Chain A
């Protein structure tokens, strides 16, 4: 322990001496005023660029296909993005609280597995004759249980989040197969019919659930002390600990809420498809892409709840627009990949050359 801390402190001293800009903890304001200003301006342009890209895509499709901006189609985009968006929001919470270092920081690879397992639980119970309340309760409990397993592994057992959630993903995938025997399990409940209705503002209820989840989380993260502390735990764990924040509780909660959102996504996906289907594992990489792409919409290029929602809608609009334009769906993945690279390329250019994690 003492060896470790002396190593860390000598490292900090080394960094303070030798790192010109990126690694310094608190540079005097006047010393960095000029580059700080230009970098801030660049960041402003970049945030603008994220929204601009979204608007440009919408405008392009609107001009080419007039039906793109009808209420019906916007509702369709929202419901197509709902499952991805909800899972992306869950991952965003984990990224905020766990920190953005991919290896040592927060990550939840089990979200797509949670989605599949939750959907399987919902549809199987439905087939067994249970009603709305029992199905929803069991599904949400499943999501929470997966989240609890993740939280336990990461905080108490101290397994790397990347690995712990990878193992949990495998367990979820296996349990899903046990329940569904790799078949499509149809489902039909009053709740599912209700979710498929068109609600207020002429928008489908599934899409409204996504909007509601975003509102709740955005308000919590942006306007409460809980949100500020979560960012502190992720960004500056030592400072957060010194300020008396219980890191373990925040980390554990982020995985629990993510698991719960996985359960919600499971219900939505059953409603959207009228069944629990195999292949939820394919959602994993799009979920990660959504959460990381969401940083494009934040001023400091950090994960934010609203950014993730915009990213999910952005990807949904792209896929939908290409479909309307009869562009082959084969291109969609490639364009998503190029977008991710463009965004993170701009981000790392902004963060400075020496700041590679």
Chain B
């Protein structure tokens, strides 16, 4: 069995265009450091990375896996929320923080298992399967929180380990950034450097050819959706540790940007496939744009317009010259 055909350039983009997103990011960085004096300081950059980028990056890494397999996971936010709910509930029930964290990830895996059942088991299109999961997850959260009330960890009894997860640092680098680095490295190794990654990309590019080439398409898809939800639930645990609470539906805020980041990232690949470095660039682009617009004094409302327009321009850079669309 050969996977060589996977390298045949279906959408052979001129190599220059692959650098559209790095170019856009560089332009954004240069422009804002000229316009806003505080932009290019270490404290601002670390602030952006911790506050705007870290959580979005984790959710986007999860999204990248499913996009690479030819689908999308609209329920990443649900996995974030259910991870957060399980984590906070366990802490309130008096469990040690590490057990709570394990339970949080298990809640994520449960969400992923449900998706895997629908997608790999019942052959439902990922987009619609995860849309259904999203709706069911919404109801589940309404029912458990009496319509969407946040659940707080009582201020008197916040365990030190929880505060460490939320605000701690190792070797001077915030824990959230370590987690991003570890997850990104693991996902990159899996997608770009393992045999399994080749199988994922084969399933994502030509599912039928993959199926009739004897690839275990169902197991590949099942693993991808479980892994995606598990990674997303880690973001949920970080959010809860940050605010000492579970806030219903807060994970959905990351959904659209993670889709945006993963697809913006595809422009980095010669064959337009989802890849981890591209996704991370996409997340950085989105994060620095909103921070820069804030620093040059745009109000929140115009920031939304501005970042929408800039994403549009980035897409334009990334997609110019594409000729495979019908």
User: What is the interface of chain A, defined by CB distance below 8 A to chain B?
Assistant: 1, 3-4, 7, 11, 14-15, 18-19, 22-23, 102-104, 109, 153-154, 157-160, 162-164, 166-175, 177-178, 181-182, 237, 247, 285, 288-289, 292, 328-338, 340-341, 344-345, 348-349, 353-354, 356-357
Contacts and interface: CB of A to CB of B under 8 A. Distances in A.
A5 to B, nearest CB: 11
A340 B135 contact: yes
B163 interface: no
19 contacts: A4-B11, A153-B315, A162-B259, A168-B308, A173-B304, A174-B302, A289-B131, A292-B131, A331-B139, A334-B139, A334-B140, A337-B131, A337-B132, A337-B133, A337-B135, A344-B128, A344-B129, A348-B123, A357-B207
A18 B214 CA distance: 12
A167 B147 contact: no
B128 A174 contact: no
Given A4-B10, A354-B208, A175 B132 contact: no
Task: Classify chain B's interface size.
Answer: 35 or more
Contacts of B173: none
Interface string B191-218: 0000000000000001111011000000
A247 B209 contact: no
**Residue among B10, B12, B312, B324 with most chain A CB within 10 A:** B312
B233 interface: no
B45 interface: no
Contacts of B74: 285
B303 interface: yes
Contact of B309 (A15, A109, A171): A171
A341 B124 contact: yes
Given A11-B209, A173-B308, A333-B136, A167 B128 contact: no
Nearest to B307: A170
B305 A175 contact: yes
Contacts of A162: 259, 263
B287 interface: no
B300 interface: yes
Interface of B: 5, 8-12, 70-72, 74, 118, 122-129, 131-140, 142-143, 147, 206-209, 211-212, 256, 259-260, 263-264, 300-309, 311-312, 315-316, 319-320, 322-326
Nearest to A289: B131
B112 to A, nearest CB: 16
B324 A171 contact: no
Contacts of B300: 177
Contacts of B208: 15, 19, 22-23, 354, 356
A182 B211 CA distance: 50
A247 B139 CA distance: 41
Contacts of B139: 330-335, 337
A129 B126 CA distance: 48
Given A4-B324, A285-B74, 10 more contacts: A4-B10, A22-B208, A157-B320, A162-B263, A167-B260, A289-B135, A334-B140, A336-B135, A348-B123, A348-B125
